[in-house]
Amino acid sequence: MTMRTRNTYSTEFKEEAVRLVVKENRSVKDVAKELGLHPSSLFHWKNQYLEKMNQNAPSLKGALKPSDLEAENHRLRRELEKMTEQRDILKKAVGIFSEPASRSTISLPANKRSTA
């Protein structure tokens, strides 16, 4: 009875095989066949990779819930509406104050004018 020797693969080889599966959306079975691997080995490498990515990913503990996002969205819309209203008022004020002074001022009778 002959013992089969175990193949050892470099880290780069494993990473490239997993990249073909994960990043290029190819099936494990096809990639394993192409590289001459047993599919279970590639599944194992892929699971290790995904586990490592999950550990390195930032936690979502501080993420907002959908209800919190809706409330924040509503608050921001109200604030935008208020700011838009203030902007429109300021535009009108600028228009009023930038008009030339009108000549229709009340003139005083000659006897009430002060002579200075």
pTM for this one? 0.47
In a domain, 116, yes or no: no
How many Å is the Cα radius of gyration of the chain? 38
Residue 49 placed within a domain? yes
Domains contained in the chain, number: 2
pLDDT digit string (tens) for the chain, length 116 residues:
677 777 888 999 999 999 999 888 899 999 999 999 999 999 999 999 888 887 776 655 556 677 888 889 999 999 999 999 999 999 999 999 888 876 555 555 666 655 55
Question: Does residue 33 sit within a domain?
Answer: yes
Quick check: is 15 in a domain?
yes
Alpha-carbon distance of 10 to 35, in angstroms, equals: 13
Q: Is residue 3 part of a domain?
A: no
Is 112 among the domain residues? no
**CB 28, CB 41: distance < 8 Å:** no
Tell me: do 19 and 39 sit in the same domain.
yes
Maximum alpha-carbon separation in the chain: 135
Residue 44 belongs to domain spanning: 11-56
